Amino acid sequence: MRIIVTGSREWTCRPTIEAALRKHAAVPGQHVLVHGGAKGADLIAAAVAEELGWKVECHDADWTAPCTSDCRHAPRRRRGGSTYCPAAGVRRNQLMADLGADLALAFFRCGHANRGTWDMVQRAVRADIPVRKQWLDDLGRIHTSPQHSAPHHATPGRWDSPATVRVPFQQPSPVAQPTVGLARLS
């Protein structure tokens, strides 16, 4: 069984990830954990999978790679002057989705944008990989939906296109009517 783990760098709850992986450990055949090498959920999952004797496949994003011809953005510049492609993370996520998996487990942190996790989830869904999502709140509770998150919890945006980030709709405050002018007419 091939399982992708994606999740927040702020994910701290190891037992949840361990339970999620152990649930599938009994499935016959070799198990492969696929992850992105970030701190938090990724590295916790990697440690658990190693303990379970699974094969672990780490896909680090290449933050030294230049932009490609299909990039619609400018390269980012570091303080030292070197440049990098800001879409390295999404490119890595797409690769993980393209390689296929039987399941993707997503571990979100309430109160955070979880942009990278949302991006991986979207790419997994498009690749027909089933996704299970869990949220960890600040009290250490686990949720299966994001109702306890900060306002931007449910805005699956793309790292490389800030234009798609949505803000919650707010009813515009009513504009004062020019009643004075109309009263004079009558």
Q: Which residues bind Zn ion (CB under 5 A)?
A: 67, 71, 85, 87
Minimum distance from residue 29 beta carbon to Zn ion (Å): 38
Cα–Cα distance between 164 and 132 in angstroms, integer?
24
CA separation, residue 21 to residues 80, 89, 119, 157, 160 (Å) = 41, 24, 21, 27, 30
Query: 10 or 160, CB closer to Zn ion?
Result: 160
Minimum CB distance to Zn ion, residue 64 (Å): 12
CB nearer to Zn ion: give 83 or 145.
83
Q: Which is nearer to Zn ion, 147 or 161 (CB)?
A: 161
- State the minimum distance, in angstroms, from the CB of residue 87 to Zn ion: 5
Question: In the bound complex, what is the minimum distance in angstroms from residue 121's beta carbon to Zn ion?
Answer: 21
Do the beta carbons of residue 51 and residue 21 sit within 8 Å? Answer: no
- 86 vs 146, which CB is nearer to Zn ion? 86
